[in-house]
Amino acid sequence: MNDTNPPLQPSRSKPWNDPRVRAIFFQVVALAVIAWSGWTLIENTLANMESRGISTGFGFLDQSAGFGIIMSLIPYDATYSYGRTFFVGLLNTLLVSAMGIVAATILGFIVGVARLSSNWLIAKLSLAYIEVIRNIPILLQIFFWYFAVLRSLPTPRQSVDVGGVFFLNNRGLYLPDPIAQPGFGWVEAALVIAIVAVVVIKRWAKKRQQATGQIFPTVKVGIGILIGLPLLAYLVTGGPLQWDVPALKGFNFGGGITLIPELAALWVALTLFTAAFIAEIVRSGILAVSKGQTEAARALGLHNGLTLRLVVIPQAMRVIIPPLTSQYLNLFKNSSLATAIGYPDLVSVFMGTTLNQTGQAVEVVAMTMAVYLTVSLLISFFMNLYNRAAALKER
Partner 1 sequence: MSESMAPPKRAFAPIRWMRENLFNTWYNVLLTVVVVYMIGTSVGPLLNWLFLDATFTGADPKDCIGDGACWLFINQRLNFFMYGFYPDAQQWRVDIMFLLLAVAFVPQFIERFPARRWLGIFGMTGLPIIGYILIPGGWFGLEEVQSHKWGGLMLTLILAYVGIIGSLPLGVILALGRRSEMPIIRGFCVIFIEVWRAVPLITVLFMASVMLPLFLPEGMNFEKLLRALIGITLWQSAYMAEVIRGGLQAIPRGQYEAASALGLGYWRKMRLIILPQALTLVIPGIVNTFIGLFMDTTLVLIIGLFDILGTVQSTITDPSWQNVATEGYVFVAFCFWVFCFGMSRYSQNLERKLDTGHKT
Shortest Å distance, C-beta 159 to partner 1 = 20
How many CB atoms sit inside 10 A of residue 73's CB? 12
Q: Of 17 and 214, which has the nearer Cβ to partner 1?
A: 17
Q: How far apart are the first and last CA of the chain?
A: 68
- Buried/exposed 325-347: b ≥16 CB within 10 Å, e otherwise: bebbbebbebbbbbbebebbbbb
Q: How many helices (H) and strands (E) does the chain have?
A: 13, 8
Q: Of 88 and 150, which has the nearer Cβ to partner 1?
A: 150
Shortest Å distance, C-beta 339 to partner 1 = 6
Q: Of 137 and 314, which has the nearer Cβ to partner 1?
A: 137
Q: Are 173 and 258 in contact (CB under 8 A)?
A: yes
Three-class secondary structure of residue 177 per DSSP: strand
Q: Of 149 and 200, which has the nearer Cβ to partner 1?
A: 149
Q: Of 2 and 118, which has the nearer Cβ to partner 1?
A: 118
Shortest Å distance, C-beta 213 to partner 1 = 32
Q: Of 5 and 118, which has the nearer Cβ to partner 1?
A: 118
What is the C-alpha radius of gyration for the chain, rounded to an integer number of angstroms?
Answer: 30
Q: What is the DSSP track for 314-383?
A: HHHHHHHHHHHHHHHHHHHHHGGGGGGTT---HIIIIIIIIHHHH--HHHHHHHHHHHHHHHHHHHHHHH
Shortest Å distance, C-beta 121 to partner 1 = 5
User: If DSSP states are collapsed to H, E and C, what string results for 216-256?
Assistant: CCHHHHHHHHHHHHHHHHHHHCCCCEEEECCEEECCEEECC
Shortest Å distance, C-beta 14 to partner 1 = 14
Residue 243 β-bridge partners? 178
Point out which residues bind partner 1 (CB under 8 A): 23, 26-27, 30-31, 34, 41, 44-45, 47-49, 51, 117-122, 125, 131-132, 135-140, 143-144, 147-148, 151-152, 329, 333-334, 336-337, 339-340, 347, 351, 355, 361-362, 365, 368-369, 372-373, 376-377
What is the identity of the amino acid at 394?
E
Burial status of residue 92 (CB atoms within 10 A of its CB: 0-12, 13-18, 19 or more) = buried
Shortest Å distance, C-beta 383 to partner 1 = 14
Q: Are 174 and 167 in contact (CB under 8 A)?
A: yes
Shortest Å distance, C-beta 338 to partner 1 = 9
Q: Of 72 and 335, which has the nearer Cβ to partner 1?
A: 335
Q: Of 46 and 73, which has the nearer Cβ to partner 1?
A: 46
Shortest Å distance, C-beta 31 to partner 1 = 6
Shortest Å distance, C-beta 95 to partner 1 = 17
Shortest Å distance, C-beta 266 to partner 1 = 13
Q: Are 311 and 302 in contact (CB under 8 A)?
A: yes
Helix (H) or strand (E) run with residue 168 in it: strand 166-169
Q: Of 306 and 362, which has the nearer Cβ to partner 1?
A: 362
Q: Of 243 and 382, which has the nearer Cβ to partner 1?
A: 382
Question: From CA 14, how far away is CA 82, in angstroms rounded?
Answer: 61
Measured N-to-C along each axis, helices 313-334 and 261-288 cross at an angle, to the nearest 10 degrees, of 150
Q: Are 339 and 352 in contact (CB under 8 A)?
A: yes
